[in-house]
Amino acid sequence: MDFFNDKHVEAAKDLLYKMADDQLIIGHRNSEWTGLGPILEEDIAFSSMAQDKLGQSEHLYNLLHELGEADADTVAFTRNEKQFHCCHLVELPIGEYDFSLIRHFLFDMAEAIRFEMLVDSSYENLARLARKFKGEIKYHTMHANTWVQQLANGNEESKTRMQSALNMAWPLALGIFEPGQHETVLAEANIFAGEAALQEKWTAEITALITKAGLTIPNDATPVYGGRTGTHTPHLQPLLDEMTEVYSIDPSADW
Amino acid sequence: MDKILQTKYTENDIRTFLKEVKDPEIPPISIVDLGIVTKINVSETNDVHVTLTPTFAGCPALKIMEELVKDRLEKEEALGKITVETSFETTWTTDLISDEGREALLKHGLAPPKQNVGYMELDVLSDTPCPFCSSRNTTLKSPFGPTLCRSLHYCNNCLQAFEGFKPV
């Protein structure tokens, strides 16, 4: 892309890596509900969302390939945890359904806003993907909102579970917005307005939804940072080992 | 008459051939009626370049559809080199499904997507007309169904579960 100088390419790569890695890892976690969902519709929902996320990550990795990185499979399947840029929120195990649901609620609202912001990006190939993805993710946020509202207003147990899952997930969710090295470059080139701008929009929308559900946002939470620079929880490497098991045995395996 | 002129194909000829290529996940609808064929270029020497746009980013049928397009066009001996590309340049929405395509979905028992719903209005799914009895007294059971493009519904009038094609 001719409007890119080297500085812009580096900044765009950083943005693409964190987005693609988040999608790949949350997609893999979502797929762990296949066959285990509390009801059949939820089994299908998490499996479908897994499929969407994996598809989205692949197209984002393809953009990285255009910018000179290895192809999508190589990037997805041959890096170790230190080379991943996902936030800690997405890498934690699925836990119980309440945690998976709250994580999905907090994460997908952030992604929906991120795609919305990228629709007008000066990086046209990314803007095209954002236009596509935002039509898909509206079903994810719709799914999350419906269940959070229902369970937060269900019985005592469901409300307690939603609140306790929110308390646990909230500091991790703030880690989505860990500032990167290239925020100014991205903003000045009109590629992406930045994590701080995203967090501001997200906070407004998510606060309204949480308040409507009758839940309380934890006070004084410290954001969990580190994921964007390759520091991860002990849960990521085992996930990568499992995800790459077939590829490691036979990189040309096809089915 | 010049032989080359006689066999020069038009974009419409190609479109007619592609009408025979069906969506592998919803066989009654062709990829042309589904609206995913966004560009057809035919060169002077009858080389054909077809551009497709994905319905969903994670649609597993996409690669298969590229192959099916290639296979169908390669059957035409007078055509030159066939190339197929997938591009997000045109964003696919369900508004690109043709009237014929919507009819085919309905016959298949899949409620056609509402049109011109824009991006963020979601309550449009809640009164999807039943493909069996046309009643609007229906309930959305889940926005996720057996494939990425379908949702699950229940008709309170004829008491049947049905699937819809989700508007995007």
Contacts A59 to B, Cβ<8 Å: 57, 88
Q: Mark which residues 172-231 of A lie under 8 Å from B by CB.
A: none
| Interchain CB distance below 8 Å, A52 and B57 | yes
Helix (H, G, I), strand (E, B) or coil at A70: coil
Stated pTM of the model: 0.92
Specify the pLDDT at position B114.
84
Residues (pLDDT < 50) of chain A are 1
Give the single-character DSSP code of A83. Answer: G
Low-confidence ranges of chain B (pLDDT < 70): 1-6, 117-124
What letter would DSSP give residue B123?
Answer: G
> What are the structural domains of chain B?
3-92 (3.30.300.130), 107-165 (no CATH)
Q: What is the DSSP string of A117-168?
A: HHTT-SSHHHHHHHHHHHHHHHHHHHHHHHHHHHHHTS-HHHHHHHHHHHHH
Residue B142 at interface with chain A, using a CB cutoff of 8 Å? yes
Model confidence pLDDT, tens digit, residues B88-134: 999 999 999 999 999 999 999 999 998 876 654 556 677 789 999 99
Q: Phi, psi (5° rounding) for residue B167?
A: -70, 130
Q: In B, which residues are within 8 Å of A115 by CB distance?
A: none
Domains, chain A, with CATH or none: 6-249 (1.20.1260.10)
Distance CA B9, CA A202 (A): 52
ipTM field: 0.83
Residue B1 has what pLDDT?
A: 45
Query: How many CA atoms does the CB half-sphere of B146 hold within 13 Å?
Result: 7
Shortest Cα–Cα distance, B72 to chain A (Å): 23
Residue in A31, A51, A147 to test binding to B, most B beta-carbons within 10 Å: A51
Check residue B62 and give its pLDDT: 86
Max Cα-Cα span within chain A: 58
- CA triple B61-B64-B67, angle to 5 deg: 155
User: What span, in angstroms and rounded, lies between the C-alpha atoms of A19 and A14?
Assistant: 9
> Shortest Cα distance from A48 to chain B (angstroms)?
6
* A58 contact residues in B (CB cutoff 8 A): 57-58
B98 Cα to chain A: minimum distance (Å): 19
Q: How many CB atoms lie within 10 A of CB B23?
A: 23
A62 CB within 8 Å of a chain B CB? no
